[in-house]
């Protein structure tokens, strides 16, 4: 019997704040400011002193900014 494959769900990858900063060019302060304002993806809490972001959400946010800056619909 063939093993079922799930091709609809993208692989999830957690990334730490430093990588979010590298991808977006935003500072730590600006990331948290935008999260609080609801204009940036919220972090996922893994523990009392550990938060991460979902890479796909951060990349989608970047794609939306690119589309906006070029006057395109995202």
DSSP output for 1-68: -PPP---SSPPP-EE-HHHHHHHH---HHHHHHHHHHTSSPPPEEEETTEEEEEHHHHHHHHHHHHHH
Look at residue 55 and tell me whether its pLDDT is greater than 80.
Answer: yes
End-to-end Cα distance, the chain: 41
Q: Which residue has the higher pLDDT, 59 or 2?
A: 59
Q: Which residue has the higher pLDDT, 70 or 58?
A: 58
Average pLDDT of the segment spanning 49-64: 97
Give the percent of the chain with pLDDT over 90.
77
pLDDT, one tens digit per residue, over 32-52 is 999 999 999 999 999 999 999
Cβ–Cβ under 8 Å, residues 56 and 12: yes
Q: How far apart are CA 18 and CA 9, in angstroms?
A: 26
């Amino acid at each position: 019997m063939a093993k079922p494959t799930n091709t609809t769900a993208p692989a999830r990858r957690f990334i730490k704040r430093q990588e979010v900063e590298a991808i977006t060019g935003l500072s730590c302060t600006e990331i948290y400011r935008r999260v609080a304002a609801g204009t940036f993806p919220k972090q996922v809490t893994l523990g009392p002193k550990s938060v991460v972001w979902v890479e796909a959400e951060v990349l989608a946010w970047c794609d939306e900014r690119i589309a906006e800056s070029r006057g395109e619909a995202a």
